Copies of this chain bind each other. A is one copy, B any other.
């Protein structure tokens, strides 16, 4: 497995605070050269340790209804169903989980009608689904992508490429 060291971690931490931070600023903050930052960032991008994305507010682009949907598939259909769900634009997340529902998804819809249509039309076309259990989001408290906590990185390290 690709290892990340404490400099990598420090860079990730600065970028999770602000995805637009410049190499120059990070170099100054971490007291390394801008080239080092660039090398590290490029290596981590190559290793798919992170990617630069935009995170839209679903409500503000007209997606008013968020649901978490538990699906129990018929034995032998899990992979096929998951792959098809993967291609549905409404679906943000699909995973296989322990418990009664072997697939759990998060999905966004314009309104309740679009959700009902998704279940009755899109899901109904997928062979291999046994039961569907829809939970509607009533209020959101957190939707963050900052996985690295304060104090987890270590600032003492030697500049590598010097």
A residues lining the B interface (CB < 8 Å): 1-2, 4, 9, 12, 15-16, 18-20, 47-58, 60-63, 66-68, 72, 75-76, 78-79, 82-83, 85-86, 89, 91-102, 104, 108, 112-113, 115-116, 119-121, 123-126, 129-149
Contact = CB atoms under 8 A, between A and B. Distances in A.
A19 to B, nearest CB: 4
B138 A75 contact: no
Given A98-B135, A116-B139, 18 more contacts: A4-B60, A12-B56, A19-B52, A20-B52, A89-B148, A94-B141, A95-B138, A95-B139, A95-B142, A96-B138, A96-B140, A97-B135, A97-B136, A98-B98, A99-B99, A101-B135, A102-B134, A104-B135
A40 to B, nearest CB: 13
B54 A145 contact: yes
A63 to B, nearest CB: 6
Nearest to A123: B75
The list of the 4 closest CB pairs from A to B, nearest first, reads A76-B124, A89-B149, A19-B52, A96-B139
B96 A141 contact: yes
B51 A54 contact: yes
